């Protein structure tokens, strides 16, 4: 791959990681400082904080591992066992994000919808969990394809 393409991907990954951290910290500070007249229930605040940081931490780990994968791409070491390990870590992080969104995100948005009498908010939680599920499945597929490609490459290296 050309160096310019991986540079663009690194920039996009940096922006995604920075945006996630800013949103998490900003939302946590806004909830914890309670500058408005409305004080949300404590269980809703706790769910929000667990949701924010429960998804931000695995997301940032996945972003770091994506940087490592781009390094392997630059060094032409994509079809090696360390790259498979990196893809497995990314897969575990995406599955963790899905589990947090499914276990905490959907109940958080349903409680929020119940309090604000807006049933459409539940769809936001379902859409976020569904999107994380799709990314987790796609990452697992890429990990499996990379593993199979390495196996085929090692078989062809043995026959030559």
Helix then strand then coil, in percent of the chain rounded to 5, is 85, 0, 15
Q: What is the pLDDT of residues 52-91, one digit of tens each?
A: 888 999 999 999 999 999 999 888 888 888 998 999 999 9
Q: What is the pLDDT of residues 130-144, one digit of tens each?
A: 999 999 999 999 999
- Predicted TM-score of the model (pTM): 0.84
Angle at 134 between CA 128 and CA 138, to 5 degrees: 145
């Amino acid at each position: 791959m050309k160096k310019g393409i991986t540079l663009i991907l690194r920039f996009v990954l940096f922006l995604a990681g920075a945006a996630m951290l800013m949103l998490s910290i900003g939302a946590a500070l806004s909830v914890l400082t309670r500058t408005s007249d409305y004080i949300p229930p404590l269980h809703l605040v706790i769910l929000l904080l667990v949701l924010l940081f429960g998804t931000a931490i695995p997301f940032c780990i996945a972003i770091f591992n994506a940087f490592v994968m781009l390094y392997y791409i630059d060094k032409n070491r994509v079809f090696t066992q360390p790259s498979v390990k990196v893809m497995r870590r990314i897969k575990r992080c995406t599955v963790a994000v899905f589990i947090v969104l499914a276990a905490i995100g959907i109940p958080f948005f349903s409680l929020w919808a119940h309090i604000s009498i807006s049933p459409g908010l539940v769809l936001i939680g379902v859409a976020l969990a569904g999107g994380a599920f799709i990314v987790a499945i796609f990452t697992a597929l890429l990990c499996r394809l990379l593993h199979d490609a390495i196996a085929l490459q090692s078989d062809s290296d043995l026959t030559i």
